[in-house]
Amino acid sequence: MNRFEKFTGIVAAIDRPNIDTDAIIPKQYLKSIKRSGFGVNLFDDWRYLDPGEPGQDHSQRRINPQFVLNREPYRHAQILLARENFACGSSREHAVWALMDFGIRVVIAPSFADIFYNNSFKNGLLPITLGGVRVDQLFAELDGRRDYQLNVDLERQVVTNTDGIEMAFEIDEFRKYCLLNGLDDIGLTMQKSDLITSFELQYYQKLPWLK
């Protein structure tokens, strides 16, 4: 996966708690495990005015003009601001895939569902937990501003608003290391490829009939 570097991105806000994974990516799209192509179906039931199905030409569907991600400049948002218990409900890694395929790199909320939180780090998405007061402040700053952006610096573990005010966030050191170096579970394993190869050679020398 790609390294996570500090960046400044457009912020889109969805002001509702307990957004579940079926809202993020509806169940009918879970048949594919390609990890890509899900961005067009992110928040599918909210973005479109008619039902969608896999393989459909979504460019022909009726867009909901009221939904934030259908409006400029939020169609290009890289940061999603949400309320507590984001991505609750059933477990599906597709929720992270859909967010990232759309272009979201960071989700900021007071709290996250545990499975989604863990899946995010494995796929290069940064979930930032900020206190409710801080999140309220960000919603207030964003209100009525189409050009609102935030700077995210993972190395320093701070989010900086347009006034230069820094908001620190906590993150596990190992997860931080993986994001900064672009390492998912496979990448971590491949760092030990020489040791794995050496073990296999010795193993098959001792037990050649297992080849």
- DSSP annotation of 152: E
Give yes or no for residue 146 having a pLDDT over 70: yes
Q: What is the pLDDT of residues 41-75, one digit of tens each?
A: 999 999 999 999 998 899 899 999 999 999 999 99
Question: Is the residue at 21 inside a domain?
Answer: yes
**Total count of domains within the chain:** 1
pLDDT recorded at residue 138: 96
* Distance, CA of 177 to CA of 32 (rounded, Å): 30
Give yes or no for residue 183 having a pLDDT over 90: no
**Angle value at C-alpha 21, between 28 and 38, nearest 5 degrees:** 55
pLDDT recorded at residue 80: 98
Asked if 43 and 16 touch (Cβ cutoff 8 Å), the reply is no
Question: Is the residue at 192 inside a domain?
Answer: no
| Percentage, residues of the chain above pLDDT 70 | 89
Question: Is the residue at 210 inside a domain?
Answer: no
For range 64-90, the mean pLDDT: 96
* Distance, CA of 54 to CA of 58 (rounded, Å): 9
pLDDT recorded at residue 188: 59
CATH number at residue 98: 3.20.19.10
Give yes or no for residue 192 having a pLDDT over 90: no
pLDDT recorded at residue 99: 98
For tokens 């994974």, the residue is 21
Q: Which residue has the higher pLDDT, 5 or 201?
A: 5
Give yes or no for residue 110 having a pLDDT over 90: yes
Question: Is the residue at 200 inside a domain?
Answer: no
For range 136-157, the mean pLDDT: 93
CA–CA distances in Å: residue 184 to residues 104, 157, 170, 179, 191? 18, 20, 20, 8, 11
- Domain range for residue 177? 7-182
- Ordered alpha helix ranges (H), the chain: 21-24, 44-47, 94-102, 114-123, 132-142, 173-181, 185-190, 193-206
Question: Is the residue at 208 inside a domain?
Answer: no
Nearest to 82 by CA among 40, 124, 49, 113: 113
Provide the greatest CA pair distance for the chain: 71
